[in-house]
A and B are shown apart, each in its own frame.
Chain A
Amino acid sequence: MTAHLAQDSIVLYAALAALLLPLLSFAFSFLVFNRYSWIISIIAPVLLFLCFLSACFVLLHVSKEMPFHFQMSWFTVGDNEITWGLLLDTRATLMMVVVSSISLLVHLYSAGYMAGDSNIQRYFAMLGFFTFSMMGIVMADSLLMLFCFWELVGFSSYQLIGFWNERPSAAAAATKAFIVNRIGDAGFLVGILILWTYSGSLTIQEMSIADIPSFYLTVAGICIFSGVIGKSAQFPLFTWLPDAMQGPTPVSALIHAATMVAAGVFLLVRIYFLFTPDVLMLIAIVGAITSIIGAIGALLQFDIKKILAYSTISQLGLMIMGIGAGNSLASELHLYTHAFFKAGLFLCAGSIIHVLNQASREKTLDVQDIRKMGGLAKRMPVTYLAFLIMAAGLAGIPLSAGFLSKDAILTGLLQGEIIFLIIGFGISGLTVIYTIRLLWFTFHAKDSLPQFIQKEQIGDPAPIMKIITLTLAAASLWLMISWNPIDFNGWTSQYAQGKILINSSVITVASAIMILLISLAAYLYFRDKTLSEKTSDIMLNNFGFDSLYNKIVVMPMLKLSNRIQTLDQKWIDGLLHLTAYSQVAIAHFMSWWDRSVIDGSVNGLAIVAKGTGSITRSFSSGKIQTYILWSMLGLIIFIVWIMF
């Protein structure tokens, strides 16, 4: 027993280390002098490496049967004791490893990508802070604690999107992301409070055994899902994610592809037991709409990062649909594989942008447009190789991890309505098409680089960046899921999931054949095409959702605010002024009272005393004759008094 306890405390320390080391990196970034800011780009990855090791250690020591649960009192409200704690089951620890490993790779990559940036300290600080918050979300055992970290994640995302805050567009995108996330989070908070009211507890474990009326469970589920809609960029709140591409590309890889947007999916999986069939149906519908919109967006965009952003939206929609209509464990699996290959794709895109920017004579011009790329495969072979492998993962080509996890989702969708299975297949097909399009026009199509780019300077980026992208490419192979390239019930799913998924070879074969055929067709289609120079306005504005939101939300809000301002000035300020004026008036009256009555009575006393004094003094005027007169009068009075 004691040995067991000792091991438990070691696991606790390792988990706390994994949580707090990124925070240490955040704190350390502020201690380094500006002149030596390059130190932080060495220290931060080292700390993250330690964090990764701790996470791996925890993973090895947590078993499926006995989740590790640590709890401490946080504060007490009335009779309700609020606790904070760590709940480390296999799912959470696996997510910890995914988060810390991708964060480590992004830190290393950033050391190359951001070298020479004057604000590198702030960058690494916020990166560390983000990792800390994300680890907090993963480990939290209560919804309140999870919500706190959820907000911190939103804050650090805001900081990092607007990292280049001298660009107005970046600042606007950061504000937009923050505000849109707030809308969802308001619902999340309401959901938490409903659950608290009816279950009397905030911890996930106690909620799972609480008896909550099904109506309130449905309402709470919808509210919590609204938080997920905000954070995971689901319809109708997805518009912030394409704009968030204003941030540095490694940030996009870490936050807006691999981890933060996946937090919503993770939350859904973690509290899956709370959702009633109605909520699950809503989740499935929202996920389906999102995945379709995202896929179409990715198909029509020209900005390389925005294509990847829409692709992320689509894949997240797929996962969410999988949770709503199929098997949540399959979505979880796809979450892990997607995290690796999408982060890698972003980092490859970052390499391309970085190299093109360095080769460009005019630093301010946009180099993210795939219409102005092409032929990069020969110039950047290593990046091309990594990109190819991870694009295969995104498209779901057999032998990639993406194939297995997507296959798992499609198999899971067999359980639900048939329409979702059809949508799932459709999304897989669209994914293949836009992936081929992106790959073709970036690397293969005829070289259409603009004049201001010095072509002889284009080459693979710094070694560290190459190694990172290749590592992520390796992590996108089927080996991440299982040894068998067509069976998704491999070691990762065995480890992460409580039960074995049903396996349908029909789906597997069908999806494999379909994906390969569509790849071929798309390749043949795009081979001879060039992209038109026209970009439709609809695409630039997120399908018109931005202008729609402007019309129905922003403008009325502005009008309402103006009204309220007028009201404020008229009534609230008026009342305030009235109070102020009346106070001044009262003060004047008081001072008059003071001067005339209070001072007056004192002065009056003094005057009376003075008058009495002068009257008394006038008797002794110093004239002898007056004295005689007075004493004579006194004598007469005396005599008169004696005689009568």
Chain B
Amino acid sequence: MNGSQSILLLSAFLFSTGLLIVFIKRNAIMILLGIELMFNSANLNLIAFNTSRPQLPDGQIFALFIIIVAVCEAAVGIAIILKAYHYYHSAIPDQVSELKEKN
């Protein structure tokens, strides 16, 4: 249980770091990066919890799915960012504010 506890702590640290990156980084690429970090911490959690019932690999398979979804998500996200950069000449979401009231 001790081993999985330290993994859980690591995963919590990674999740917090990812969340922090999502909050404070201005660039959309960096935000995407933070999201990837949070995915991976979730994966770490799944794998860590799977160690307590080794007869079934369901946790690891779930982590594999997440990796695939994360790749797709990263591909789609970067495509959107590229498109937006193309259109707005900026990859910073705060500057893309056409709907917002100008003041």
Contacts and interface: CB of A to CB of B under 8 A. Distances in A.
Interface of A: 621-625, 628-629, 632
A622 B31 CA distance: 16
B99 A628 contact: no
9 contacts: A621-B100, A622-B97, A622-B99, A622-B100, A623-B93, A623-B94, A625-B31, A628-B22, A628-B23
B78 to A, nearest CB: 16
A623 to B, nearest CB: 6
B19 interface: yes
Contacts of B22: 625, 628
Contacts of A624: 93
Contacts of A628: 22-23
Contacts of B97: 622
Interface of B: 19, 22-24, 31, 93-94, 97, 99-100
A629 B23 contact: yes
A632 B19 contact: yes
Given A625-B23, A628-B23, A632-B19, 13 more contacts: A621-B100, A622-B97, A622-B99, A622-B100, A623-B93, A623-B94, A624-B93, A625-B22, A625-B24, A625-B31, A625-B93, A628-B22, A629-B23
A621 B97 CA distance: 10
A625 B93 CA distance: 9
Nearest to B94: A623
A629 B94 CA distance: 15
Q: Is the interface of A mostly helix, strand, loop or mixed?
A: helix
A632 B23 CA distance: 10
A624 to B, nearest CB: 5
B57 to A, nearest CB: 28
B28 to A, nearest CB: 9
Contacts of A632: 19
Q: Is the interface of B mostly helix, strand, loop or mixed?
A: helix
Contacts of A629: 23
Contacts of A622: 97, 99-100
A258 to B, nearest CB: 102
B101 to A, nearest CB: 8
A633 to B, nearest CB: 11
A621 B100 CA distance: 8
B103 to A, nearest CB: 11
A622 B22 CA distance: 16
A628 B31 CA distance: 11
Q: Which A-B residue pairs are the 7 nearest by beta carbons?
A: A622-B100, A624-B93, A622-B97, A625-B23, A629-B23, A623-B94, A628-B22
Contacts of B99: 622
Contacts of B23: 625, 628-629
A629 B24 CA distance: 10
Contacts of B31: 625
A628 B25 CA distance: 13
A632 B34 CA distance: 14
A624 B31 CA distance: 11
Nearest to A625: B23
B65 to A, nearest CB: 23
B79 to A, nearest CB: 18
Contacts of A621: 100
Contacts of B19: 632
A623 B24 CA distance: 12
A384 B11 CA distance: 154
A536 to B, nearest CB: 107
A7 B87 CA distance: 122
A104 B23 CA distance: 122
A23 to B, nearest CB: 87
A629 B31 CA distance: 13
A537 B93 CA distance: 120
Nearest to B100: A622
Between A625, A628, A632, the greatest number of chain B beta carbons within 10 A of the residue's beta carbon is seen for A625
Nearest to B25: A625
Contacts of A625: 22-24, 31, 93
A36 B79 CA distance: 113
Contacts of B93: 623-625
B92 to A, nearest CB: 11
Contacts of B94: 623
A624 B22 CA distance: 10
A635 to B, nearest CB: 11
A504 B31 CA distance: 151
Contacts of B24: 625
A641 to B, nearest CB: 20
Nearest to B93: A624
A521 B103 CA distance: 127
A622 B95 CA distance: 10
A624 B24 CA distance: 11
A623 B31 CA distance: 13
Nearest to B101: A622
A222 B94 CA distance: 112
Nearest to A632: B19
B2 to A, nearest CB: 24
A621 B99 CA distance: 11
B87 to A, nearest CB: 17
Nearest to B19: A632
Contacts of B100: 621-622
A202 B100 CA distance: 96
